[in-house]
Amino acid sequence: MKKINFLTQILIAFVAAVILGAIFGPDIAVVAPLGDAFLRLIQFIIAPLILATLVVGVAGTGDLQKMGRLGGKTVAYYLATSAIAISLGLGMGFLFSPGAGVDIPPESIDETAADVEQPEGVVDTLLNIIPTNPFEALVEGNILQIIFFALFLGIAIAAVGQKARPVLTFFEGFSEVMFKITSFVILLAPIGVFGLVAPIVGDHGLAILLPLGKVILAVATACILHVAITYGLAVKTLGRMSPIKFLKGIAPAGIFAFSSASSAGTLPITMKNTTENLGVSKGTSSFVLPLGATINMDGTAIYQGVAVLFIAQFYGIELTMMQLLMVVLIATLASIGTAGVPGAGLIMLTLVLTSIDLPLEGIALIAGIDRILDMFRTSVNVVGDATGAVVIDRNEPLDEDEHTAEEK
């Protein structure tokens, strides 16, 4: 029998999950452990994978100036795409006017959602990048802190030179092993997708979508436009790669992000897709992607734009130009602090709403469909991270240690 290719397998699992979820309703929750097991398998790879690959990548460069330049470019690229994303979200919010004249049945308003925890401030977020204990960072899976530790380790290994050779050899071998584990685990992705998606469809049914259909439509349209236009152009011009090839290569990660609503959880798949399908060097992908998974959230930014306008329209509040600009600024910054886990965007929305004095209760209106919006925004977050890897790698690859490439 001809082997079905991996992408097709994932798509089949996805469609089967939607159909069976719709047929069996909440009872389909029995398959949820399949999804959870897969997510756990993927998550257990993240911390050691980032540490090992990034140490090797940085030690290979050993050039502080280059690292600084690369970091600056990466952050600038991600901030720019996020600002475009939020503007697109606002545009679609105006176009679809999802909050004008909607009548939301009281049972689908989740009052408790407005009590979400307030996110931490910008200074604390920045300070938190420095780990007080690198092992704690690894244990907790704090990605920015792991990046910080790995950068230092890599730079110091390069600075020490010959004597640090065994440490580098260890990390080289270790990173190969982690990539191997990733390959094994990813074979199970279709089962994971099925286990994640079927319970969501079974739980939500299709009825909940109706009153808020326009919000979903506005978010989905903005997401598709952002991928097609912003990413298409970025990949083609800055990355010199065909957008079709790019989308095909990153599709498994995009679909898994859609199913899991976690860009951090998708990270190992994103790294595998970019290195194997898109030809990005491991050094670049291990630096740019984890950074992207934590600070780059274009889908989330789009969602903030639509949600702000939806809530303003619902309460009949007209926003001034100043407030809109404020939304662009705050949402771009907020997306840096958003964790790549399900539902994080909803928490960051409180920050944006507070900054322009919109009622926080507005959050309760969309909380019921947040998971569905989360699926769209997370795929865009992940695909956006991958565009960063392609663009940066084509212009300034953070190559693996020369010794690694040659000695193999």
Q: Is 58 in the site for ligand ASP (CB under 6 A)?
A: no
Q: Is 116 in the site for ligand ASP (CB under 6 A)?
A: no
Contacts of 337 (CB under 8 A, 6+ apart): 119, 120, 122, 125, 348
Q: Is 380 in the site for ligand ASP (CB under 6 A)?
A: no
Q: Is 332 in the site for ligand ASP (CB under 6 A)?
A: no
Stretch that binds ligand ASP, among 20-28, 55-63, 134-142, 338-346 (CB under 6 A): 338-346
| Identity of the residue, 211 or 343, whose beta carbon is nearer to ligand ASP in the bound complex | 343
Q: Which of 10, 158, 201, 297 binds ligand ASP (CB under 6 A)?
A: 297
Q: Is 345 in the site for ligand ASP (CB under 6 A)?
A: yes
Q: Is 226 in the site for ligand ASP (CB under 6 A)?
A: no
Q: Is 342 in the site for ligand ASP (CB under 6 A)?
A: yes
Instruction: With beta carbons less than 8 A apart as the criterion, state whether 388 and 234 touch.
Output: no
Closest by alpha carbon to 258, among 145, 381, 358, 130?
A: 381
The single-letter DSSP state of residue 207 is G
| Identity of the residue, 77 or 256, whose beta carbon is nearer to ligand ASP in the bound complex | 256
Q: Is 350 in the site for ligand ASP (CB under 6 A)?
A: no
Structure tokens at 240: 């010199």
Binding footprint of ligand ASP, residue count (CB under 6 A): 16
Instruction: With beta carbons less than 8 A apart as the criterion, state whether 157 and 237 touch.
Output: no
Instruction: With beta carbons less than 8 A apart as the criterion, state whether 343 and 131 touch.
Output: no
| Identity of the residue, 191 or 341, whose beta carbon is nearer to ligand ASP in the bound complex | 341
Structure tokens at 354: 């507070």
Q: Which of 259, 273, 381, 387 binds ligand ASP (CB under 6 A)?
A: 381
Instruction: With beta carbons less than 8 A apart as the criterion, state whether 17 and 193 touch.
Output: yes
Smallest gap from residue 358 Cβ to ligand ASP (A):
18
Rounded CA-CA distance 37/212 in Å is 32
State whether the Cα torsion 340-344-346-350 is positive or negative.
negative
Instruction: With beta carbons less than 8 A apart as the criterion, state whether 290 and 146 touch.
Output: yes
Q: Is 343 in the site for ligand ASP (CB under 6 A)?
A: yes
Q: How many distinct helices (H) and strands (E) make up the chain?
A: 19, 0
Q: Is 340 in the site for ligand ASP (CB under 6 A)?
A: yes
Q: Is 273 in the site for ligand ASP (CB under 6 A)?
A: no
Contacts of 189 (CB under 8 A, 6+ apart): 6, 9, 10, 38, 252, 256, 269
Q: Is 259 in the site for ligand ASP (CB under 6 A)?
A: no
Q: Is 93 in the site for ligand ASP (CB under 6 A)?
A: no
Instruction: With beta carbons less than 8 A apart as the criterion, state whether 69 and 167 touch.
Output: no
Q: Is 243 in the site for ligand ASP (CB under 6 A)?
A: no
Q: Is 270 in the site for ligand ASP (CB under 6 A)?
A: no
Residue 135 carries which side chain, given as an amino acid letter? Answer: F
Residue count of the chain = 408
Q: Which of 367, 377, 385, 400 binds ligand ASP (CB under 6 A)?
A: 377
Stretch that binds ligand ASP, among 1-9, 23-31, 261-269, 350-358 (CB under 6 A): 261-269
Q: Is 338 in the site for ligand ASP (CB under 6 A)?
A: yes
Instruction: With beta carbons less than 8 A apart as the criterion, state whether 194 and 200 touch.
Output: no
Q: Which of 273, 285, 300, 350 binds ligand ASP (CB under 6 A)?
A: 300
Instruction: With beta carbons less than 8 A apart as the criterion, state whether 345 and 338 touch.
Output: yes
Query: Which residue number is nearest to ligand ASP in terms of Cβ?
Result: 345
Q: Which of 146, 261, 383, 398 binds ligand ASP (CB under 6 A)?
A: 261
| Identity of the residue, 168 or 261, whose beta carbon is nearer to ligand ASP in the bound complex | 261
Residues that bind ligand ASP (CB under 6 A): 261-263, 297, 300, 338, 340-345, 374, 377-378, 381
